[in-house]
């Protein structure tokens, strides 16, 4: 099965991967920075932190991220999916600039340009490494029979 | 609540900060490589869902031992992230761990997953890595 061209639905999944991760991380950061310092001597405090509202919101977003991330990994390489995650940081920066009217420094604009270039660069290539024997549905059905015969 | 002196020392020591970030990077690289291997061994989830529905797809994921090995390391990465965020700024932790993880994953993807990390992917991993650092620093 060729995956050279991704379907619109697959781009939607990659979009969810890139958006949910930075939004979830921001929620976690907001929750954890509002909390008193936790020492390694009291790891139970980390578990208690899981039940505070910002952390709950962060975890919900990260679960959404994880589901779409797993789906993406089932048809694309890890080294293809990961740059997509970074693109989300660009989206969050642009939201904060044009929606929340925060200022973006020259360094941040440079970062935005570099990430966009990098993601565009990897997106030009194939999403999945070509295997010598690609596993398609026919082979998946045949393979167990073959291995059974070998073990006998 | 008073903050113990030891935790104040933690926040100022750059080696401790580096150790926290290294813990996140190592755990998340291990977790991501294992989950990627698990998903590749399961096959295209969209195809599985078309054949045996959403429950079939969920069952395919939940019956894969590699997936749980991956989730274990991702959970370890998550709690190291929570711990680090409690002591360090997001503007340090997020870019440092994200950009380092990109590079370690490119290396691990090539070695363990035998992915075709060609020059295009190396260059983009490098660009994104520097970009993430600039963006969030």
Cβ–Cβ gap A125/B120 under 8 Å: yes
Instruction: Give the separation between CA A50 and CA B82, rounded to whole angstroms.
Output: 9
Searching chain B, which residue's CA lies closest to the CA of residue A2?
A: B44
Confidence band (pLDDT; 50, 70, 90) for A121?
Answer: confident
Tally C-beta pairs within 8 A across A and B: 170
Report DSSP letters for chain A, one per residue: ---SS--HHHHHHHHHHHHHHHHHHHHHHHHHHTSPP--TT-THHHHHHTTSHHHHHHHHHHHHHHHHHHHHHHHS-HHHHHHHHHHHHHHHHHHHHHTS-----HHHHHHHHHHHHHHHHHHHS-SSPPPSS---HHHHHHHHHHHHHHH-
From B35, B85, B98, residue closest to A29, measured CB to CB: B85
Q: What pLDDT score does B37 carry?
A: 92
Cβ–Cβ gap A82/B118 under 8 Å: no
Q: How far is CA A14 from CA A48, A80, A144, in A?
A: 32, 10, 32
Instruction: Give the separation between CA B53 and CA B68, rounded to whole angstroms.
Output: 22
Q: What pLDDT score does B11 carry?
A: 52
Q: What is the CA radius of gyration of chain B?
A: 18
Cβ–Cβ gap A73/B35 under 8 Å: yes
Cβ–Cβ gap B47/A90 under 8 Å: no
Which are the contacts of A103, defined by CB distance < 8 A and separation ≥ 6?
Answer: A97
Does the CB of B76 have a partner CB in chain A at under 8 Å?
no
The overall longest dimension of chain A from CA atoms, in Å, is 69
Residues written for chain B: 137
Searching chain A, which residue's CA lies closest to the CA of residue B58?
A: A67
Centroid of chain to Cα B96: 12
Quick one: what percent of chain A has pLDDT higher than 90? Answer: 7
Instruction: Give the separation between CA A135 and CA A100, rounded to whole angstroms.
Output: 47
In this prediction the ipTM stands at 0.75
Q: What pLDDT score does B82 carry?
A: 82
Contact predicate B105/B29, CB 8 Å: yes
Min mean pLDDT across A30-34, A133-137, A144-148, B54-58 is at: A144-148
Interface of A with B in 83-142 (CB under 8 A): 83, 85-86, 89-90, 93, 107-108, 110-119, 121-122, 124-126, 129-130, 135, 137, 140
User: For every one of its 137 residues, what pLDDT tens digit does chain B have, with 9 covering 90 and above?
Assistant: 444 444 444 455 788 888 999 999 999 999 999 999 999 899 888 888 888 888 888 888 899 999 999 999 999 998 898 888 888 877 778 778 888 888 888 889 888 988 888 888 888 888 888 888 887 66
From A26, A46, A117, residue closest to B83, measured CB to CB: A46
CA distance B7 to chain A (A): 6
Does the CB of B17 have a partner CB in chain A at under 8 Å?
no
- The 10s digit of each residue's pLDDT in A94-112 is 877 777 777 778 888 888 8
CA distance B16 to chain A (A): 12
Cβ–Cβ gap A78/B109 under 8 Å: yes
């Amino acid at each position: 099965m060729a995956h050279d061209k991704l379907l619109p639905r697959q781009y939607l999944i990659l979009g969810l991967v890139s958006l949910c991760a930075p939004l979830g991380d921001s929620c976690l950061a907001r929750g954890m920075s509002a909390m008193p310092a936790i020492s390694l001597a009291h790891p139970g405090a980390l578990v208690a932190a899981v039940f505070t509202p910002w952390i709950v919101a962060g975890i919900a977003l990260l679960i959404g991220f994880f589901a779409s991330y797993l789906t993406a990994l089932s048809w694309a390489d890890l080294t293809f999916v990961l740059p997509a995650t970074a693109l989300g940081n660009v989206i969050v920066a642009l939201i904060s600039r044009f929606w929340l009217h925060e200022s973006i420094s020259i360094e941040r604009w440079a970062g935005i340009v570099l990430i966009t270039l990098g993601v565009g660069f990897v997106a030009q290539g194939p999403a999945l490494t070509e295997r010598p024997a690609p596993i398609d549905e026919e082979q998946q059905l045949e393979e167990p029979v073959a291995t059974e015969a070998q073990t006998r | 609540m008073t903050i113990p002196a030891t935790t104040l020392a933690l926040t100022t020591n750059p080696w401790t900060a580096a150790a926290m970030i290294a813990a996140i990077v190592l755990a998340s690289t291990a977790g991501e490589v294992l989950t990627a291997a698990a998903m590749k061994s399961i096959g295209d989830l969209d195809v599985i869902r078309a054949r045996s529905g959403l429950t079939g797809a969920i069952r395919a994921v939940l019956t894969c031992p590699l997936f749980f090995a991956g989730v274990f390391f991702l959970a370890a990465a998550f709690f190291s992230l929570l711990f680090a965020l409690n002591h360090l700024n997001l503007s340090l932790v997020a870019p440092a761990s994200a950009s380092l993880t990109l590079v370690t994953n490119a290396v691990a993807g090539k070695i363990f997953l035998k992915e075709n990390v060609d020059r295009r992917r190396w260059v983009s991993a490098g660009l994104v890595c520097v970009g993430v650092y600039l963006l969030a620093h």
